[in-house]
Chains A and B, each alone.
Chain A
């Protein structure tokens, strides 16, 4: 979505960041879908979701938007990649039996850079840039509705859609910053991903962190002001109770500290940006934990005569394994992509440089 907004608003410095954002989006959405299938507990019954779907159920809305977003994200990665593929094919001409050469030919041997091809491709990219914004908004909104359509304390909120969208914006930008730093160092891309890009992304991150802070303020301060009986246990467990340490750490380290550090020009240099990116992403992960767990431990109906283990939660080994395997899987997809495809769009960069050299053309 960040890429789409940059494209539509014609942000000039976007080029080296677009493919990084797109591959992060594709990897994340693939494992978001797989994660949901695993979490449902019976992956063999996945087809039931399609055959017996009820449109009244928010889980079906999630299935629909995730599938749509996955297809659009793949297309958004593929169309801008087309002009780069002939260069990749050429680089493998010496060894025609090489697997990567075959892969490049399969994906883009038909790209000749003809006028009509460029016209169709530009139209497609423009359509996707427009479409992906509402679809991305839907995906985060529908995810929030999975919670907000219940009456549970902490989830029963009209603020939830915007709150989740702003949270996704922030973690997405944080992820892009981390990837920018890692790729720049690993592939020595200092000439393409410059300090200026970090500086600009730092400003974007400050704005998004402030936006998320604002929604957090709404989400917690308003219910705390009223302190309804049903919400009391949940809110106190966050503010002063069992989860207070984690809650305040997330707010301070995941939002306030990045805002303060990134307000200064020195804070927007690559290394501090990378550290702030990590704080944002780790903070965002714990934020999701805080959204789900304390609410589930604040029962909607009174609980009595239950085993002691029902009143607290510690993730099991299987849950940790699922969490880390989905994260590793997403990183693996990104790693494979970067191994075989240029993470900086070659053709777009050349065009940009030519435009600078020959402004009249």
Chain B
């Protein structure tokens, strides 16, 4: 009897110790919108391991509009290897979002085997970032226009830092300075005099970016302009090159090595022939 009680107490201690060992999660929620595409809500979950943070993988995250209940559920997703989970705001929420000037979002992370549950909230003011291009007397200008929805209309947002960029393969290349401040009309601009390679027609993707703003989130506006140097596409893959497929081996590489291979293997077959002659000679009765 006493032994049973001891085992039971031990088990309770073990279970409670395991429960206590669950890590606390720090959950972040940010808002992001690119051009007219659906807005994206991004959750980032991490736990503290020693002196540094580590991402929480495969955690289930629910994101709600306004408050946490089933009718407000925007979407459910799982965090990836970097602890990040993105949810696109579906079209069904657009009417509700358009009717107000600011939005409130709630994210909840479901408790897992090794981590505790967590929640995060974000308040976002409805804003928009546009990019405009002007060309006069061979001077090219990029203009970013930032405005927010106030009193039923779009109102310029002054004194805010925005970036003017060219999109490249891996990152964004700043045009001129790193950031520009919007004026009273909500505009920030710079001249564009960079000679950059574009596509075959000279198209570059230029844009404006407002990053991690406390009220508006991340806003990104891009557009294509023929301000680059036209770069014909490299179609050498379909020609006889070193990087082409096997049926397009360059002639010199096909002929030269094959002649050497033929000469060497021809000699090897001659050696085999000599061996056959040695064998035949030995088999003959003298």
Contact = CB atoms under 8 A, between A and B. Distances in A.
Nearest to A112: B282
Interface in A29-78: 52-56, 61, 64, 68, 71-72, 75
A56 B243 contact: yes
Given A54-B246, A110-B283, A112-B282, A75 B271 contact: yes
A135 interface: yes
A123 B274 contact: yes
B264 to A, nearest CB: 6
Contacts, number: 69
Interface stretch (B14-22, B108-116, B249-257): B249-257
B243 A127 contact: no
A128 B249 contact: no
Contact of B268 (A52, A55, A72): A72
Interface residues of B, number: 27
Interface string A113-127: 010110011011001
Given A68-B264, A68-B268, A127-B271, A121 B278 contact: yes
Contacts of B275: 75, 79, 120, 124
A131 interface: yes
B104 to A, nearest CB: 32
B249 A54 contact: yes
Contacts of A55: 246, 249, 253-254, 257-258
A124 B242 contact: no
A82 interface: yes
B245 interface: yes
A128 B264 CA distance: 10
A52 B281 contact: no
B282 A120 contact: no
B282 A124 contact: no
Contacts of B224: none
B264 A135 contact: yes
A114 B282 contact: yes
B195 interface: no
B281 A114 contact: yes
A56 B253 CA distance: 7
B285 to A, nearest CB: 11
Contacts of B274: 120-121, 123-124
B279 interface: yes
A128 B272 CA distance: 11
A224 B257 CA distance: 35
Nearest to B253: A55
B268 A110 contact: no
Given A68-B265, A114-B282, A127-B270, 14 more contacts: A56-B253, A64-B257, A79-B275, A109-B282, A110-B278, A110-B282, A110-B283, A112-B286, A116-B277, A120-B278, A124-B271, A124-B274, A127-B267, A135-B264
27 contacts: A54-B245, A54-B246, A54-B249, A55-B246, A55-B257, A55-B258, A56-B242, A56-B243, A56-B246, A56-B249, A56-B253, A61-B257, A68-B264, A68-B268, A109-B282, A111-B282, A112-B282, A114-B281, A114-B286, A117-B281, A120-B275, A120-B278, A120-B281, A121-B274, A127-B267, A128-B271, A135-B264
6 nearest interchain CB pairs? Answer: A110-B282, A54-B246, A124-B274, A120-B274, A110-B279, A56-B242
Interface of A: 52-56, 61, 64, 68, 71-72, 75, 79, 82, 109-112, 114, 116-117, 120-121, 123-124, 127-128, 131, 135
Interface of B: 242-246, 249-250, 253-254, 257-258, 261, 264-265, 267-268, 270-271, 274-275, 277-279, 281-283, 286
